[in-house]
Structure 1
């Protein structure tokens, strides 16, 4: 509901700031396109920057909260050499993502020889490799321990499952290399299905490892969250699996959950009835509205590593992490600090009273096979 209203208000702002002859359209999700006829590149840049500023100045009010937004804008000139519509749209998509990757809330003009955009053509290679891995079942699972700060929590390991794509030499490629391309080309949900299917199958085949694990987390994409067929798939998979639903935690990023609040609530409510748990990932990176925690039935708050990493040196980061932890505790949530990479940071988290911590200093990722008893 909130997301729909936000899109309506943004569309009204955009429509009010383009020419009558221009065509404004929603392309899907949170993406809009403007077709500007008989328009010079310089004028298009001025209009694009005006739209950027209008969105940046806008405040979205929902309930008793106010939210600021940003927009990444890509510009493509259309002439006789532009080729087919698909090529123009691909160029516009490339320019938008270049603006996003250069820091968001900016305008980027497409140039055919732009070296930043040449990198985007590598997406096709990643898409081919991802599709091949899905077809040949060649993805691999790894895990990272999430360690309790004290011994007052449930016995058994708390782990997060991680996805790896082996390269030609068999070395694992981290998901940060291929997931952005997979998301852009609508492969995130098939990947999530692969992870759910193979995680349940592995633990079913390794019951002793399952006995030692209190809960294992699976990360979900926005595409899966809004896909009703994915929810039905998970329900069917859990019904057919001997793995208790209570041992499964689905990690959903804060920004994705709030942008798709209705879908997130439905997803959590449905699977929560089966016993599944839920974590808001990267908490603090998005809207950070504690009011939403009254709506979303989450069990864990995973505090964004951007703040966690700085708490030993930055008083503001320390205060932010402590605030999230304190309010989370009052609301009955279990807190997890992400990206813990030094003893100084770990010591500060113990001082704050965070429930769990996770990161390379605490435990490095390992192949899932190492969970199985020798």
Structure 2
């Protein structure tokens, strides 16, 4: 019922508008033979079918019948032609516009403006053809005046279309097209000046006409100039409405012979006048549309450059730029930076799809944006990372952060047959005036967020409450950046530490472990433990291990004279490398094109990393063993359930953790552990290597317990690889 009433009200409103335009046009008629110079209803009808579809052309016959019954009576023989000319022409023009748009909506752009102009000319020609035929059939026009009637009818329709269709197409269209087109982006003073100028220019035309000036109509250039001003400076609707006022005013003056002007009497006079008015109605509107299109394009480019396309939030570069401005400008307010990272977001992409992941990112972005006020800078800084800079105290930021975590934790997104959930970790860094630099604040927030993830996720950590622990994490992040830089610049050196047999009758070929040393940008040596920790924590392990493998093989390939002296060369692989399928493919391909036999290489993997993902570890070991490589289980004895899975793990050596070796002679437990590992290894036909042997007494104890090999300072400190192969003293224990 409500829809029916709404449709009826719309029908009556549109019928009234069409009728009003026709009544205004009837003012131009003085004799039954006259043809109106201006038919605004043509423009209103065209806008109607363009905006709401051809079915709304039903308005036209009702309005035309009402016109002829009340204001403009016509012969009965002409009435069908009058109805048909307006209705059929509107339908034809609507069909053309629908075909030209190909289902695309009406937009305020130059192409659509030209489309409306072409459709309007088609409407005018169709209406003039049918209407002129009716005038001849009804005897209203002498056959000798057929051309004059057709031209005046067509130009009257064309003027009505060029004047009224643009504005009414926008006003009748969906709200999305109208939005923002009425608001001027200039100051009130300029608007007032323009309005006064338009009134004065029209008044000047009337004054000049009343004075009898033969060139009074030349003053029409003044309102035209003001319309061009509006087209460049004001909103498109301002220009369109201004055009309607100017064209209607001038057409009334000249068409009715007001203000000292004379009505055009000949076809040439009428054609010139109407062509002038058509140009006045077309040029400013096309310029306004082109200007709007240019501004819209510029805004779109600016938005693309500053906004994240998925969430509409600020992108990283814009956020950092504006955050630096805030830190420099807000000298009297506290500022808090929140850094948010979704927990286990990769699972959403892998289990559902990347489309589902995008949906979640959009939803979380909306939650983040809704939690903070307009004063906050909110950005999506990465795949599943967000940042917020808000002018609040640390305690207020913590409250907002916890509320946001609860909102994200309660999020449920239905996706096909799944219900997707989310959780996040938030790090907060607070700054009091005078503020420091943005990079330091961001590193603290990022480190706090990383700490929240390491604590299990779905929690918030404030940098100020972490103390020294957060400083360690921040230093670790810097180390990761330095490791990456060192990899790019290849600032690493290969060292070797010998692994010697404790049995004097064993082989004299070289056994050794490759160790890595690195230098910072200033050339100062850095601790290897710092290197390994940073690489593993920030997922640089596979890249670092690739570098080591390639460097070792390259050195051995360029020194073939040492190849036969090697029994096994130990190369450490990190936990991330062990489960990296790309590294497995790379290593296999590198071995195939190398002249170094694969059986010379012994890949050392830690017990902890094997336990973490035993299936992948076993798959990796099998593939590398098929190529000929050997394996050693490093740091053995420090993991969990060591002996339970050992019989299923195809390794050649067990490297006994140095913490037990160093305690030999001081701890009965250490001796028991070393002895147990050795006995079990021999039962499984594996060999043992004791790490970090530092004294002769420890070597004697290891030999007595049946340990096969030893490694440590008691034998030799690590040496650069060139020096190691020149030193024959490292082949066995003296």
Bigger Rg, which one: 2
Q: Residue 268 and residue 112 in structure 1: after superposition, are their counterparts in 2 closer, same or farther (change >3 A)?
A: same
| Residue 278 of structure 1 pairs with residue 631 of structure 2 | yes
Distance of 2:704 and 2:346 partners within structure 1: 45
- Does structure 1 retain, via aligned residues, the 8 Å contact 2:483–2:534? no
| Equivalent position to 1:112, from 448, 454, 464 | 464
Secondary structure of the 2:496 match is strand
More off after superposition, 117-126 vs 241-250:
117-126
Match of 1:246 in 2: 599
Match of 1:292 in 2: 645
- Does structure 2 retain, via aligned residues, the 8 Å contact 1:206–1:372? no
Distance of 1:26 and 1:192 partners within structure 2: 26
Q: Residue 78 and residue 109 in structure 1: after superposition, are their counterparts in 2 closer, same or farther (change >3 A)?
A: closer
Distance of 1:109 and 1:274 partners within structure 2: 47
Report the Cα offset of residue 172 of structure 1. Answer: 3.4
Match of 2:690 in 1: 337
Q: Which has the higher helix share?
A: 2
| Equivalent position to 2:569, from 203, 216, 223 | 216
Report the Cα offset of residue 170 of structure 1. Answer: 4.0
Match of 1:13 in 2: none
Distance of 2:499 and 2:343 partners within structure 1: 44
Report the Cα offset of residue 89 of structure 1. Answer: 5.8
Q: Residue 172 and residue 148 in structure 1: after superposition, are their counterparts in 2 closer, same or farther (change >3 A)?
A: farther
Distance of 2:587 and 2:526 partners within structure 1: 26
C-alpha distance after superposition, 1:287-345 (max 9, x if no partner): 14223122111000000111111121100110011001111111101000111111222
How does 1:67-86 map onto structure 2 within 5 Å?
A: none
Match of 1:143 in 2: 496
Distance of 1:86 and 1:363 partners within structure 2: 41
Q: Residue 351 and residue 88 in structure 1: after superposition, are their counterparts in 2 closer, same or farther (change >3 A)?
A: same
Q: Give TM-score scaled by structure 1 length.
A: 0.73
C-alpha distance after superposition, 1:210-242 (max 9, x if no partner): 221111000001111101110010100000100
Report the Cα offset of residue 280 of structure 1. Answer: 0.3
Secondary structure of the 2:464 match is coil
- Does structure 2 retain, via aligned residues, the 8 Å contact 1:95–1:117? no
Which one scores higher on RCO, CA 8 angstroms, separation ≥ 6?
1
Match of 1:237 in 2: 590
Secondary structure of the 1:273 match is helix
Distance of 2:561 and 2:599 partners within structure 1: 17
| Residue 93 of structure 1 pairs with residue 450 of structure 2 | yes
| Equivalent position to 1:309, from 649, 654, 662 | 662
- Does structure 2 retain, via aligned residues, the 8 Å contact 1:307–1:317? yes
Q: Residue 216 and residue 80 in structure 1: after superposition, are their counterparts in 2 closer, same or farther (change >3 A)?
A: closer
Q: Residue 368 and residue 28 in structure 1: after superposition, are their counterparts in 2 closer, same or farther (change >3 A)?
A: farther
How does 1:36-55 map onto structure 2 within 5 Å?
A: none
Q: Residue 111 and residue 126 in structure 1: after superposition, are their counterparts in 2 closer, same or farther (change >3 A)?
A: closer
- Does structure 2 retain, via aligned residues, the 8 Å contact 1:95–1:110? no
| Residue 133 of structure 1 pairs with residue 486 of structure 2 | yes
Distance of 1:174 and 1:79 partners within structure 2: 30
Report the Cα offset of residue 166 of structure 1. Answer: 1.9
Q: Residue 135 and residue 317 in structure 1: after superposition, are their counterparts in 2 closer, same or farther (change >3 A)?
A: same
| Equivalent position to 1:164, from 517, 524, 528 | 517
- Does structure 1 retain, via aligned residues, the 8 Å contact 2:693–2:710? yes
Secondary structure of the 1:282 match is strand
C-alpha distance after superposition, 1:29-58 (max 9, x if no partner): 9xxxxxxx99x99xx9xxxxxxxxxxxxxx
How does 1:314-325 map onto structure 2 within 5 Å?
A: 314-325=667-678
- Does structure 1 retain, via aligned residues, the 8 Å contact 2:654–2:681? yes
Report the Cα offset of residue 86 of structure 1. Answer: 9.5
Secondary structure of the 1:326 match is helix
Secondary structure of the 1:112 match is helix
Distance of 1:28 and 1:150 partners within structure 2: 51
Report the Cα offset of residue 259 of structure 1. Answer: 1.1
Secondary structure of the 1:129 match is helix
Report the Cα offset of residue 108 of structure 1. Answer: 11
C-alpha distance after superposition, 1:148-172 (max 9, x if no partner): 1013433301000001112456453
- Does structure 1 retain, via aligned residues, the 8 Å contact 2:343–2:453? no
Distance of 1:162 and 1:358 partners within structure 2: 13
| Residue 122 of structure 1 pairs with residue 479 of structure 2 | no
Distance of 2:498 and 2:615 partners within structure 1: 31
Q: Give TM-score scaled by structure 2 length.
A: 0.38
Q: Residue 176 and residue 153 in structure 1: after superposition, are their counterparts in 2 closer, same or farther (change >3 A)?
A: same
C-alpha distance after superposition, 1:328-363 (max 9, x if no partner): 111101000111111222221111110001111121
Secondary structure of the 1:258 match is helix
C-alpha distance after superposition, 1:255-289 (max 9, x if no partner): 10121111111111011011100000000010142
Distance of 1:27 and 1:304 partners within structure 2: 36
Distance of 1:88 and 1:127 partners within structure 2: 17
Q: Residue 217 and residue 28 in structure 1: after superposition, are their counterparts in 2 closer, same or farther (change >3 A)?
A: farther
Distance of 1:232 and 1:352 partners within structure 2: 40
Distance of 1:203 and 1:110 partners within structure 2: 50
| Residue 260 of structure 1 pairs with residue 613 of structure 2 | yes
Specify every segment of 5 or more residues in structure 1 that has no aligned partner in the other structure, as ranges.
1-23, 30-36, 45-74, 101-106
Q: Which has the higher strand share?
A: 1
Distance of 2:346 and 2:715 partners within structure 1: 40
